[in-house]
């Protein structure tokens, strides 16, 4: 169960430096959401998934509990590859279904965090002693072509994470993923669906302030890694729905004019009072959107599943 590591020691630091320099010198300012997830951010997100307002995790679990056996049969997969696997908590439902179908041989969780990967892999190897668990440390946005291609694979991309990519990046990602698949391989894609705006906003702006702390945590990450002097509490959490683009935006709004220094980058930044920087988009989809984007990337939809409330979808697609 040795870790396959495609990230050298400097990769993440260089990626962070490039993203922060590019995003915070743009107008308007922005940061990519991948930098939320240090140990504190991962813990905060885990708390978010248990909040009453945050429905996506519960709805995705409903779909998996009801339909994972059918997904296993339709895919015929002997290898499960999970992109952005994290703690692999939801994956157990897929692993159980694939094991019960008699096909499963290998599980490959893919993430950038080696500690989380190895902990999840060790836990699952104990639960499934006959399963070959092969953790892969990689950035799925850049290393799809390097992922192992053995077996008949189901590539799972869960949690609605595809919605964090803007349309052009989403199109490129799906086409690159399609290019790595062989005949018989499948994609299981999770997408959050368009719904009442009040419910969408509440899911990203809970009353307990957990999401606000999660949003501000990116500033703590930058301070620690890039010798910054952001004052996270001087920024307000903002969540709004963009009707034109059908996505939620999370932003951080400066409560006063301030100057921020990033020592490692030799960079000074000025923020005006009320100035906002975007830290995440989370696109919401309709069924026709999912089918259209998958078809444009060269996929055929095998099955489209939703929870009874129609809040979330999982789509099984082949090349």
**Binding-site sequence positions for L-histidine:** 54, 164, 204, 280-282
User: Which residues line the annotated binding site?
Assistant: 54, 84, 90, 111, 139-140, 164, 204, 280-282
Cα–Cα distance, 69 to 78 (Å, whole number): 14
User: Which residues line the annotated binding site for S-adenosyl-L-methionine?
Assistant: 84, 90, 111, 139-140
Cα–Cα distance, 141 to 241 (Å, whole number): 25
Contacts of 235-239 with CB under 8 Å at 24 or more apart are 236/212, 237/205, 237/209, 237/211, 237/212, 238/276, 239/201, 239/204, 239/205, 239/211
Of 238, 270, 233, nearest to 251 (Cα)? 238
What is the separation, in whole angstroms, between the first and last Cα of the chain?
29
Cα–Cα distance, 85 to 72 (Å, whole number): 18
Contact at 8 Å (CB) between 145 and 180? yes
Burial (CB < 10 A; 0-12, 13-18, 19+), residue 109, is: buried
Contact at 8 Å (CB) between 312 and 306? yes
């Amino acid at each position: 169960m040795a870790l396959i590591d495609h990230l050298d020691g400097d990769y993440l630091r260089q990626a962070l430096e490039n993203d922060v320099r590019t995003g915070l010198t743009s107008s308007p300012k922005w940061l990519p959401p991948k930098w939320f997830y240090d140990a504190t951010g991962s813990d905060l997100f885990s708390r978010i998934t248990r909040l009453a307002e945050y429905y996506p995790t519960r709805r995705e679990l409903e779909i998996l509990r009801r339909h994972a056996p059918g997904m296993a049969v339709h895919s015929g997969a002997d290898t499960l590859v999970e992109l952005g696997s994290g703690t692999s908590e939801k994956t157990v439902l897929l692993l159980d279904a694939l094991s019960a179908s008699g096909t499963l041989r290998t599980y490959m969780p893919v993430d950038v965090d080696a500690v989380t990967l190895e902990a999840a892999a060790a836990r699952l190897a104990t639960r499934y002693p006959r399963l070959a668990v092969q953790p892969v440390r990689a950035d799925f946005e850049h290393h799809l072509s390097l992922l192992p291609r053995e077996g008949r694979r189901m590539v799972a991309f869960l949690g609605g994470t595809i919605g964090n990519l803007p349309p052009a990046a989403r199109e490129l990602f799906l086409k690159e993923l399609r290019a790595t698949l062989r005949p018989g391989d499948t994609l299981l894609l999770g997408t959050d669906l368009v719904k009442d705006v009040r419910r969408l906003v509440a899911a990203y702006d809970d009353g307990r302030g957990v999401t606000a702390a999660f949003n501000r945590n990116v500033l703590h990450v930058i301070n620690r890694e890039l010798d910054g002097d952001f004052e996270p509490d001087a920024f307000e959490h903002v969540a709004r729905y963009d009707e034109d683009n059908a996505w939620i935006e999370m932003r951080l709004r400066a409560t006063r004019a301030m100057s921020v220094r990033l020592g490692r980058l030799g960079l000074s930044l000025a923020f005006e009072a009320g100035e906002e920087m975007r830290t995440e988009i989370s696109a919401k989809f309709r069924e026709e959107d999912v089918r259209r984007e998958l078809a444009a990337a060269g996929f055929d939809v095998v099955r489209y599943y939703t929870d009874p409330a129609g809040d979330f979808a999982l789509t099984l697609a082949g090349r």
